[in-house]
Amino acid sequence: MENREKEILIIKETKKLEGTVQISGAKNSALPNIAATILTDKPVILENIPELLDVRYMCTLLKEIGSSITQIDEKSWVFSLKEPSSLEAKYDIVSKMRASILVLGPMVARFGEAKVALPGGCPIGQRPIDMHIKALEKMGIKIEKEHGFIVAKGKPKGAHIVFDRVTVTGTENIIMAAVLAEGETVIENAALEPEVVDLTVLLKKMGADITWNWKGKSRTIKIRGVKKLNGAKHKIIPDRIEAGTFAILSALTDSSIIIKDYPENFLTYVNWIMRKMGIFIVKIGKNEVVVKKDKNLKPAFIETKEYPFFPTDLQAQFMTLLSVVDGLSIIKENIFENRFLHVPELNRLGANIKVQNNKVAIIDGVKKLTGAEVKATDLRASAAMVLAGVIAEGKTIIHDIYHLDRGYEKIDHKLKSIGVDVERKKVKQMLVKEV
Ligand code: EPU
């Protein structure tokens, strides 16, 4: 038997919350924006970078490639990659964070060469990267898979890419490959997520030539390659998923916490779903909102779908909310094939949720949840457990909270500041060796 330390979160039921919560910079915007700094030998300043485990992994990866990274203030960093010291993204980081694949596009674009470890498994689904590879091959890059690595060679050339399905990091990788490519690239069926748009805003500041066309059903991006990109200064957009999570927390506890930097424009569809349930986002200042709710909320039908529709990254948190809304609610997960890992954990807390074919969850609202020990099975499932812990009677202990630290900046501090009774504790973990 071996002893190791791990962290748990202990949350006690907290009835009413008050105070202000500041929404951090978006993880899924910070990651591609940091990768984009590879594209130039000039310094790029990124502001509003959230302090997250995934951001640290991405910075470690860039340092291994040869980037110098200097902190200017709490949230701003300068990235500069004059000469690469290595063109390899090693397995130890890639296996921890799938978004490491985002260095592939910029590395081939600038250096004509890259070696990136294959990401491997993921709890929420298989998450292949076949569409990234197919598109790069269409741009003339020679790609081999050897010894667990993708080895890419060649400078990208403009091409007409049609993605079979919408892929967020796939779109970002190809945009970054195309900005320095010879000729014009057209990406059809591109992802329109605000984080993808934010990446193009940075790239345009660096001198890239990018135009969007998302009229009607069209999801097309046109990129004319340029010879060189410059440095720039850019502020990362607020995290719509963190904002949505705090809005749900406010509704669950019927509290008027002030949510600062709530990106209302990125949450139009989510806000519409909330309104239909009887939850209202009320603007009280520039980018400041509070949440108001009807006495009795209505159940909902939610289907996850690419932006501008309902984000899969808020599905688990909404499930916690619906688990205590009287009546039958349905959630259909269309993006990932295994993203109901939080269901057995919510049921441990007293929810009544049944899953059909790993695709549809039927939620029969209960009066209350009761505290218990639960596992955080992935990042957003962890957030669902936190929300449940706040309203569950008694004490909830959440294990494996490292998932939470990957995507929620200083979550326990933020929760404490609005009155949640939460404690992070180091405990010994007993590891029984297999015999
Ligand atoms: N897919 C393929 N082949 C590919 C690429 C994707 O089959 O080459 C499939 C995936 O398996 C999935 C679907 O297409 O079923 C969509 O995946 P997508 O590529 O859009 O996901 P991603 O780019 O890997 C990003 C976010 C995720 C978020 C998804 C969907 C980042 C760093 N990650 O992942 O964020 O859930 O888009 O919106 O941007 C999270 O923050 O918790 C998170 C998982």
* CA separation, residue 101 to residues 43, 51, 105, 186, 271 (Å): 22, 20, 8, 21, 32
pLDDT digit string, tens, across residues 264-285: 999 999 999 999 999 999 999 9
Ligand 1 mutation pick, 167, 171, 402, max ligand atoms within 8 A of CB: 167
In the predicted model, what is the mean pLDDT of residues 306-315?
97
Per residue in 212-234, pLDDT tens?
987 777 899 999 999 999 999 99
pLDDT at 120 over 80: no
Residue 104 Cα to ligand 1 midpoint, Å, equals 16
Given this model, what pLDDT does residue 162 score? 97
Place of tokens 């009761």: 370
When mean pLDDT is compared across 182-186, 283-287, 421-425, the lowest value belongs to: 283-287
* Rounded-to-integer distance, Cα 17 and Cα 352, Å: 26
pLDDT at 430: 63
Residue 431 has pLDDT above 60, yes or no: no
Q: Which atom of ligand 1 is nearest to the CA of 193?
A: 38
Higher-pLDDT residue of 375, 3: 375
Q: Is 383 in the pocket of ligand 1 (CB under 6 A)?
A: no
Pocket of ligand 1 contains residue 312 by CB under 6 Å = yes
Nearest atom (ligand 1) to Cα of 130: 8
Q: What are the two backbone dihedrals, phi and then psi, of residue 332, each rounded to the nearest 5 degrees?
A: -110, 125
Instruction: State the pLDDT at residue 3.
Output: 61
Indicate whether residue 144 lines ligand 1 (CB < 6 A). Answer: no
Atom 17 in ligand 1: residue holding the nearest Cα:
167
Task: Write the residue with the smallest CA distance to atom 28 of ligand 1.
Answer: 313
- 370 CA to centre of ligand 1 in angstroms: 33
- The mean pLDDT value for 202-213 works out to 96
pLDDT in tens, 371-415: 999 999 999 999 999 999 999 999 999 999 989 999 999 999 999
Which residue is closest in CA terms to ligand 1's atom 11?
127
435 pLDDT more than 50: no
Each residue's pLDDT tens digit, 88-108: 999 999 998 999 999 999 999
Q: Please indicate whether residue 28, judged by its CB atom, sits closer than 6 Å to ligand 1.
A: yes
What number of other Cβ atoms are within 10 A of residue 196's Cβ? 22
Is the pLDDT at 429 greater than 90, yes or no?
Answer: no
Q: What is the tens place of the pLDDT at every residue in 57-72? A: 999 999 999 999 999 9
- Whole-number pLDDT of residue 211: 96
| 99 CB within 6 A, ligand 1 | yes
| pLDDT at residue 121 in the model | 67
Active site residue 59: no
Per-residue pLDDT, 46 = 98
Q: Which of 27, 103, 138, 168 to mutate to test the pocket of ligand 1 (most atoms within 8 A of CB)?
A: 168
327 lines ligand 1 (CB under 6 A): no
Asked whether 168 lines ligand 1 (CB < 6 A), one says yes
Select the more confidently predicted residue: 434 or 393: 393
Residue 432's pLDDT is: 54
Mutation probe of ligand 1 site: the residue of 93, 132, 312, 335 with most atoms within 8 A of C-beta: 335
Here the tokens at position 416 are 């404490």
394: left (phi over 0), alpha (psi -120 to 50) or beta: left
Write down the residue that tokens 């948190």 correspond to: 317
pLDDT at 125: 81
- Between the CA of 143 and the centroid of ligand 1 the distance, in Å, is 21
Q: Whose CA is nearest to atom 2 of ligand 1?
A: 128
What share of the chain has pLDDT > 90, as a percent?
Answer: 91
Whether ligand 1 lies within 6 angstroms of the CB of 33 is answered as no
Q: What is the C-alpha separation between 53 and 27, in angstroms, rounded?
A: 10
* Mean of all residue pLDDT scores within the chain: 95
Pick from 18, 56, 121, 125: nearest CA to 359? 125
Q: For ligand 1, what atom is nearest to the CA of residue 126?
A: 11
Give 189 Cα–ligand 1 centroid separation in angstroms.
Answer: 14
Q: Is 35 in the pocket of ligand 1 (CB under 6 A)?
A: no
Return the structure tokens found at 245.
């999570």
- Look at residue 23 and tell me whether its pLDDT is greater than 60: yes
Spatial distance between the Cα atoms of 235 and 327, rounded to a whole number of angstroms = 42
Q: Is 258's pLDDT higher than 80?
A: yes
| Residue from 19, 85, 92, 122 carrying the catalytic annotation | 122
Q: Which amino acid is at 239?
A: D
Output the residue whose Cα is nearest ligand 1's atom 7: 128
How far, in Å, CA of 47 to CA of 234, rounded?
6
pTM of the model: 0.96
Q: Is 167 in the pocket of ligand 1 (CB under 6 A)?
A: yes
Cα distances from 59 to residues 70, 127, 179, in angstroms, run 11, 23, 22
Atom of ligand 1 at shortest range from CA of 195: 39
Residue whose C-alpha is closest to residue 102's, from 191, 38, 193: 38
| Long-range interactions of 136-140: CB distance < 8 A, separation 24+ | 136/104, 136/105, 136/108, 136/173, 136/174, 136/177, 139/174, 139/177, 139/178, 139/181, 139/185
Span from the CA of 10 to the centroid of ligand 1 (angstroms): 30
